[in-house]
Amino acid sequence: MSATVHTLRSPEGVTLGVEHFGDATAPLILLAGGMTMLSWPDAVCESLARGGRHVVRYDLRDSGASSTLDPEEPAYTLRHLAADAAALARALDDRPAHLAGIGVGGMVAQVAALEHPHAFRALTLAGTRPVAPGPVDEDLPDHDQAAMKLRFELPKPDWSDRGAVADFAAAAAAISGDDPDTARATAERIFDRTQGTARSVQMANQLGTVFARIDCAPRWRERLPELAVPTLVLHGRHDRFFPVGNGEALAREIPGARLLVLEKAATAIPAAAADEIAAAMLDL
């Protein structure tokens, strides 16, 4: 299944890197990455396209082919990222889209669906939680502290060195329970498509923790019962970053949501689960 990569400029003047799969006249599924679009595996995009959808995955700001300003001091908020998703959906199709987000992209997707309800007809939330980065609500499981300690003890690489970045990604994946070889290959692809003088700060943003600096106020968890679109919650059983209880909370609090726990997955979506995930998304 061939794909086309290009950029779109939002009404706000932000350039977003996008990649298309499938028939552009088919109903749209818009995939918000966990910063980079490559958080959504090729196999998932291709399976959805075979199912008769126009699939578009995109980079959030300060990642990949999207606009880069100052990732170390972002001047935008989570609401801006949600508005980007709505503007992109409208630019691609005049019909409401199925919006899917993974990780921090899942937070973007929740806020986008709440604040721009007419832009979206369905919602998929993968490996995410109902609150912003930072202190977690008492009823939600926090990051696995042992894994996080090991993760933050990893020496930071030279973000301008492709091999060092790939080694770092593989080591981080081993700690999180994901496949190191897949993480290495994905990091190399991210590096290769991140260009220009901002590469070092972009790489730190995409594989580091810069998203935690974005203003995510006000809270949105208490508004989840307002969501009135079919919703699928995907979560890896062995996710150490956002333990599965976070996905269970989302499924409880969003009316009618379906929870699909990937029994062999951790944080990243495994390509082997692509057809199962696509079938569940297409059912929406």
What the chain holds in terms of domains, given with CATH numbers, is: 3-141+210-283 (3.40.50.1820)
Between residues 4 and 126, the one the model is more confident about: 126
Q: Which residues of 82-91 are buried (b: 16+ CB within 10 A; e: fewer)?
A: bbbbbbbbbe
pLDDT above 60 (res 105)? yes
pLDDT band at 15 (very low <50, low <70, confident <90, very high): confident
Share of the chain above pLDDT 70, in %: 89
For 175, list phi and psi in degrees, rounded to 5.
-70, -40
Residue 102 phi/psi, 5° resolution? -120, 140
**Residue 45 dihedral angles phi and psi, to the nearest 5°:** -60, -45
pLDDT (0 to 100) of residue 118: 97
Which helix H or strand E contains 28, and what residues bound it?
strand 28-32
Q: What mean pLDDT value characterizes the chain?
A: 90
pLDDT digits (tens, 9 = 90+) for 28-86: 999 999 888 999 999 999 999 999 999 999 999 888 888 777 666 778 899 999 999 99
- Give the per-residue pLDDT at 1: 43
Q: What is the side-by-side strand order in the sheet with 28-32?
A: 3-9, 15-21, 54-58, 28-32, 97-102, 120-126, 231-236, 258-262
Q: Which of the four pLDDT bands, split at 50, 70 and 90, describes residue 252?
A: very high
**CA–CA distance, 231 with 212 (Å, rounded to integer):** 26
